[in-house]
Amino acid sequence: MTSNTAPPHTPPMPVWRQVLNSTAMTALWVGLMLLGAGRLDWTRGWIAIGLALAVFGAIAVAVRRFNPGLMTARARWRRSDTKSFDKWIVPPMMALGFVQYAVAGREAGCAGCESLAFAWLYPGAALYVAGGLIVGWAMAVNRHAETTVRIQTDRGHTVVTRGPYRFVRHPMYSGAILLYLGIPLVVGALGWTAVISAVIIALMILRTALEDRTLRRELAGYEHYTTLTPYRLVPGLW
């Protein structure tokens, strides 16, 4: 779907700020995982950290190349017109995402604590990379992929039908679900690490339903889009 008027331009986030944000996030990831593990010689943990850095680094490069204003828009994770349901869904999702790193370190980082054989890392990494590719693809083509749900009248909000949006209506969530399915397998923890993934995935599914209902009611052209792309998250299922 397209608009008759050009949407306002969002300037790209300066490179220095993006590097600073990435460095701070990396330090937090590493710190939480290794603090939970209580040791530095956790090979599987370092592999998980390296995998996360590679995937999210590739996403950042792709978004800066194809959708340079998105990171600036996403930097404001809460706005006055953010939908009320998102104000109570997003904070626990974000908090659990960080807590999971420390829990994974605690649960699988000590010697002999891993509950899954090392071979499970490979399907976990495949899920993680596939999810990252889908998330990056969606962010590269959708300039409205902000952090929270709102109707972006200030940014010329229109329906996006390109890229992965041809297959499902919420591909970022589809990709993120694959990421969270992969994390417990990568680190080798099927206890609380997997429980946290399950809770985050449940919140994403709930958020998908509420966001989709909002867009059908309030975004021009979205109802017609649902007839062209009938599935929300999984082709042929839902």
In a domain, residue 154? The reply is yes
In a domain, residue 2? The reply is no
In a domain, residue 236? The reply is no
In a domain, residue 201? The reply is yes
In a domain, residue 184? The reply is yes
Sole residue written with tokens 């989709």: 212
Q: What is the mean pLDDT of each run of 10 residues along the chain (238 residues)?
A: 44 58 69 81 87 87 86 76 90 90 86 82 96 94 89 87 95 96 92 94 96 94 94 93
Q: Which domain holds residue 177?
A: 15-228
In a domain, residue 108? The reply is yes
Interatomic CA distance for residues 232 and 219, integer angstroms: 16
In a domain, residue 186? The reply is yes
pLDDT for position 5? 39
pTM for this prediction: 0.87
CATH number at residue 151: 1.20.120.1630
Interatomic CA distance for residues 11 and 172, integer angstroms: 22
**How many domains does the chain contain in total?**
1
Angstrom CA distances, 100 to 3, 13, 91, 137, stand at: 41, 28, 14, 25
pLDDT for position 4? 35
In a domain, residue 10? The reply is no
For the chain, state the CA radius of gyration. 18
pLDDT for position 12? 57
